[in-house]
Amino acid sequence: FFIPSYYIKSKLDMKESGIALVERAADNIGSDEESVIDIISLNSTPKYSDSIPNIKYSFDLSQSIVDPESGGVTFNVEAKNLNKKLKETFKRLGSLDNFTTEIERYFFINRQTDETLRQKKRLAAKIESSLKVLASGSAIHMTGSSVTGLGSYNCDIDMCWNCYVSLYGEDRKREIHRMLKVAKQRIRKDFPEAVRSIDVIRAVVPILKFELAYFDEETHKDVCFEVDININNHPGIYNSKLLHYYSLFDRRFSQLVLVLKHWAQIREIKDAQNGFFNSYSIALLALHYLQCGVKPYVLPNLQKLYPQIFDDAESLIELEYRQHFESPITKESLTINRQPISELLIGFFDYYRNFDFDHYAISVREGKIIPRSQCSSDNPLTYCLFIEEPYDYKNTARCVTHQQNWAVIQTCFNDAYDSLVYPGGVTPSLSDIGIYIYII
């Protein structure tokens, strides 16, 4: 994986802005085909699509404002003793090779395939054509798990309908709701045989939610997708790009998130509508742990290392998916975390069952924990925990407001850790936390 520390734009690039930039970037979503060997080998520095040439971005490490050896992250000192105790636990458990292979196998079986991604892109193009009739110059952009590299084979399609809305305040909210209702009618008209269900959902970010089942002419297969469309939720575009590049940096991030989302669904704590986590919060929990809960870090802080790209809205929108850059760590000072995914999964549960959520918030933007008193949008009397959204700084876990629900989540962290370090079999297994691998 390669990341630039200095971003160079041509004069032509500088002329583009707004919807045009997003539209061009959205057309370049893609993923590479990888063999099983690539997926399960973590004994060397990960390499992804080295054959793809880097023709758009330049690398100059001296331009980085952060010491590249630090990765732009601050190790959570509270994790020092936890990790020391974990090493003793790992010694007691013996070899975790089988558990590591099981997780990697699970990921390979359940991840979203390239074929599915292409199907989603074709559907997004059709939906865009349909909605452009309602708002000329508008564009549809896929966001969320479908493009981040953190999605399963059956993940929903999140889309942002980027269009002009002139009103402000409450009038703007009413206009967005009206536009979603009109879009609902248009989707029904243009996809009459495919629509199974469709409705406008009132929420902090209102969405048009529907399900389409149809025959894909390219693959000659019957497909069914659930689609969520919002209007102008631009942070969703930004954070999708950010998570996409974190997933490229180290495959263990994607592996960890996929397992955690499945585990959370089984334990019924991935349910934002009923006061639990959403998928995004789970991904940020995993990201923070891989930044600040282990040493050396697994993931650096891209926003601090390269603010010219990941902290600049225009540059980030223009940044295409699957680009490849120089590594942010020089070979002379290369320090790599080689912990297997099995150790990281156990460590994740140990980290968060001991985390001081009452006093500290999680910030992947800062690459460290921060006092909750520094979070401008926090309300400790309302929110049980605070996970900072890296672009609008709001709480992604703002649905978790009931202490009873929060107690359930904390119990789940404890139970998962106990189940893995005191497994039912000889060694830990995903089945100890309720996940089973079925091969058809």
Give 182 or 37, the one with higher predicted confidence: 182
User: Would residue 396 count as lying in a domain?
Assistant: yes
User: Would residue 203 count as lying in a domain?
Assistant: no
- H/E stretch holding 214 reads strand 207-216
Portion of the chain with pLDDT greater than 90, in percent: 67
DSSP 89-128: HHHHH---HHHHHHHHHHHHHHBPPHHHHHHHHHHHHHHH
Q: Which of 7-11, 71-75, 243-247, 331-335 has the lowest mean pLDDT?
A: 7-11
User: Would residue 62 count as lying in a domain?
Assistant: yes
User: Would residue 407 count as lying in a domain?
Assistant: yes
Q: Are 303 and 388 in contact (CB under 8 A)?
A: no
Reading the block at residue 137, the tokens are: 């110059």
What is the domain extent for residue 350?
41-110+250-433
Can you tell me which residue has the tokens 């404002």?
A: 65
Residue count of the chain, please give it.
440
Q: What angle do CA 424, 294, 412 make, to 5 degrees?
A: 40
Whether residue 152 has pLDDT greater than 90? yes
| Contact residues for 327 (Cβ-Cβ < 8 A; gap 6+) | 1, 2, 3
Give 36 or 403, the one with higher predicted confidence: 403
Q: Give the separation between CA 200 and CA 6, rounded to whole angstroms.
A: 42
| Contact residues for 130 (Cβ-Cβ < 8 A; gap 6+) | 186, 187, 190, 191
User: Would residue 15 count as lying in a domain?
Assistant: no
pLDDT at 64: 56
User: Would residue 64 count as lying in a domain?
Assistant: yes
- The number of folded domains in the chain is 1
CB atoms within 10 A of CB 272: 18
Q: Are 288 and 364 in contact (CB under 8 A)?
A: yes
Q: What angle do CA 247, 248, 250 make, to 5 degrees?
A: 75
> What does pLDDT average to over the chain?
83
Q: Which of 44-58, 94-108, 114-128, 335-349 has the lowest mean pLDDT?
A: 44-58
Closest CA to 341 of 107, 103, 112, 36: 103
- H/E stretch holding 361 reads strand 360-363
User: Would residue 194 count as lying in a domain?
Assistant: no
User: Would residue 101 count as lying in a domain?
Assistant: yes
**C-alpha of 114 from chain center:** 17
pLDDT at 327: 54
Can you tell me which residue has the tokens 């010219």?
A: 308
For the domain that residue 416 is a member of, what is the CATH number?
Answer: 1.10.1410.10
At residue 212, what are phi and psi to the nearest 5 degrees? -120, 130
Q: Give the separation between CA 285 and CA 388, rounded to whole angstroms.
A: 10
Using pLDDT thresholds of 50, 70 and 90, give the confidence band for residue 307: confident
Reading the block at residue 345, the tokens are: 């999964």
pLDDT at 328: 55
Q: What is the pLDDT of residues 87-116, one digit of tens each?
A: 999 999 999 999 999 999 999 999 999 999
Using pLDDT thresholds of 50, 70 and 90, give the confidence band for residue 168: confident
